[in-house]
Amino acid sequence: MRFIFDLGHPAHFHLFKNPISTLKELGHGVEIIARDKDCLLELLDREGWSYKSVFRCGKGLIALGCQNFAAFRTAVSTAWRKRADFIVGTSIVAGPAARLCGAKSVVFGEDDAKAVPIFAKLAYPVAHYVVTPDCLKFENYGKKHLTYPGYQELAYLHPNRYQANPEIKRDLGLNSDERYFLIRLVSLTAHHDIGEKGVNTVQAFELLERLAKYGRVFISAEKVVDEKLEKYLLPTRAEKIFDVMAFADMVIGDSQTMCAEAAVLGTPSLRCNTFVGRLSYLEELEHKYGLTKGFLPDDFDKLLQQIDKWLVEENIKDNWQQKRTRMLEEKCDLTDWMVKLFDRLA
């Protein structure tokens, strides 16, 4: 079989990297289309995979639309030339490109449609298959709606796929028993982020001041930060971010994905943005498994109070690992599930 994967974000690289590797090992043909977003191209380069890059000129919906049109043209030309059987991605391009080329499209989504209305309206109706976590069964896209027991983060952070490297503390210049914390700041420039709010610079300084009393603080930023924050930026390469999260005492930020990643790794995480309360998979991780908590930006003081409580909680990491164990018992290895799905669809 011949597959095209359309990757628009570093999170998509992680979501599909293990299925891509497995498909290649099984002898299937795989082509990759990648947007120039954050560290995505760097991750692909380090993997040694060839790809067709699609660059974005400027910001806003017009620039994003132009980039998606370029990705669509690339997908169509690649699909015709390689005679693709499947176009896969978290992508509005996959469906129409596949329809035009006689391929089948498999579109993955994790966010509630109400939270990403443009994506849902453009991607789902034309897709051959819509794949979501089973916490979104209620959205019901008919027979083409396929669900799995889990989260996208378990395609690459399930213990079958990932084991954290404790050497990360040495890479960070820390002693083995030294506490540290990670603050994640995102740019909120995706189409579904327009009009949304996260952690502002003043709040970032408040977090830094609060956490620095208990240990080292590192910042992972998708955007340009205040020059006074630059010295706190992570010194490690992008592919080591999961090791950083796994051994951190806490992860705080305005990224849904990274807070979910910390949660499935068993690290306490706090998220602060206007998506809080609107995403079913994070609500499940919070209210069913107790692995994360969310606060709206206007409730930032409550977030600080939660930090204070967690900072003095004894054995908090051990408690989180127990919660993680319970979650893993009820969820799947998504990579294994995906590979079986592709085989079944073929």
The pLDDT confidence band at residue 346, using thresholds 50, 70 and 90, is confident
pLDDT given for residue 195 in this prediction: 55
Query: What does the alpha-carbon distance between residue 3 and residue 7 come to, in Å, rounded to a whole number?
Result: 13
pLDDT given for residue 189 in this prediction: 42
Task: Tell me the pLDDT tens digit for each residue of 140-161.
Answer: 999 999 999 999 999 999 999 9
Give residue 10's identity as a one-letter amino acid code. P
Query: What does the alpha-carbon distance between residue 55 and residue 307 come to, in Å, rounded to a whole number?
Result: 39
Query: What does the alpha-carbon distance between residue 73 and residue 5 come to, in Å, rounded to a whole number?
Result: 14
pLDDT given for residue 196 in this prediction: 67
Regarding whether 150 and 219 lie in a shared domain, the answer is: no
Is residue 206 a contact partner of residue 185, using CB atoms and an 8 Å limit?
no
Tokens of 75: 């997908």
pLDDT given for residue 303 in this prediction: 97
Regarding whether 17 and 146 lie in a shared domain, the answer is: yes
Regarding whether 66 and 184 lie in a shared domain, the answer is: no
- Provide the domain limits for residue 91: 2-158+332-345
Exposure pattern of 65-94 as b/e (b: 16+ CB <10 Å)?
Answer: eebbebbbebbbebbeebebbbbbbbbbbb
Mean pLDDT (the chain) is 92
Regarding whether 216 and 146 lie in a shared domain, the answer is: no
Tokens of 147: 């669900």
Q: How far lies 125's CA from each of 38, 134, 207, 234, in Å?
A: 29, 19, 42, 40
Regarding whether 192 and 68 lie in a shared domain, the answer is: no
Asked if residue 163 is part of any domain, the answer here is: no
Q: Is 163 exposed, middle or buried (0-12, 13-18, 19+ CB in 10 A)?
A: exposed
Query: What does the alpha-carbon distance between residue 317 and residue 232 come to, in Å, rounded to a whole number?
Result: 23
Helix (H) or strand (E) holding 242: helix 241-247
Regarding whether 338 and 275 lie in a shared domain, the answer is: no
Beta pairing, strands 269-272 & 250-253: parallel
Nearest alpha carbon to residue 152 among 53, 280, 49: 280
Regarding whether 253 and 324 lie in a shared domain, the answer is: yes
Query: What does the alpha-carbon distance between residue 54 and residue 70 come to, in Å, rounded to a whole number?
Result: 7
Query: DSSP 3-state assignment of 153?
Result: helix
pLDDT given for residue 59 in this prediction: 72
Lowest mean pLDDT, pick from 39-53, 55-69, 73-87, 118-132: 55-69
Domain of 12, CATH number, reads 3.40.50.2000
Regarding whether 174 and 144 lie in a shared domain, the answer is: no
* Number of domain units in the chain: 2
Lowest mean pLDDT, pick from 85-89, 193-197, 333-337: 193-197
